[in-house]
Amino acid sequence: MDMQASETLLPMPLSTLTAEEQILQETVRKFARKEIAPLVREMDEAQKMPPGLISRLFDLGLMGIEIPVEYGGVGGSFFSSILAVEEISAVDPAVGVLVDVQNTLTVNALLRWGSDAQKERYLPRIATDTVCSYALSEASSGSDAFALMTTARADGSDFILNGRKLWISNAAEAGLFIVFTTVDPSAGYKGITAFLVERDTPGFVVGKKEDKLGIRASSTCELLFDNCRVPAENVLGEIGKGYRIAIETLNEGRIGIAAQMLGLASGAWLHAVKYSQERRQFGKPIAEFQAVQFTLAEMATEIEAGRLMVYNTARRKMAGMPFVKEAAMTKYFVSQLAERVASKAVEIFGGYGFVKDYPVEKLYRDAKIGSIYEGTSNMQLATIAKQIL
| Catalytic residue positions, numbered | 374
Q: Report residue 240: phi and psi, to 5°.
A: 85, 0
- Torsion angle defined by CA atoms of residues 7, 377, 186 and 151, in that order, rounded to the nearest 10 degrees: -40
Calpha distance 35→385 (Å, rounded): 42
Residues written for the chain:
389
What distance lies between CA 320 and its chain's CA centroid?
22
Mention every residue, 6+ apart, whose C-beta is less than 8 A from residue 137. Answer: 145, 165, 166, 167, 168
Q: Are 228 and 165 contacting, i.e. CB atoms less than 8 angstroms apart?
A: no
Q: Are 249 and 108 contacting, i.e. CB atoms less than 8 angstroms apart?
A: yes
DSSP character at residue 132: E
Half-sphere exposure of 382 (CA within 13 A, CB side): 7
Longest CA pairwise span in the chain (Å): 79
Report the 10 Å Cβ neighbour count for 283: 6
Give CA angle at 35 (93, 102), nearest 5°: 45
Calpha distance 101→113 (Å, rounded): 16
Mention every residue, 6+ apart, whose C-beta is less than 8 A from residue 262. Answer: 86, 89, 303, 306, 307, 310, 334, 338
DSSP character at residue 384: H
What do you get for the CA distance between the two ends of the chain, in Å? 45
Calpha distance 98→24 (Å, rounded): 18
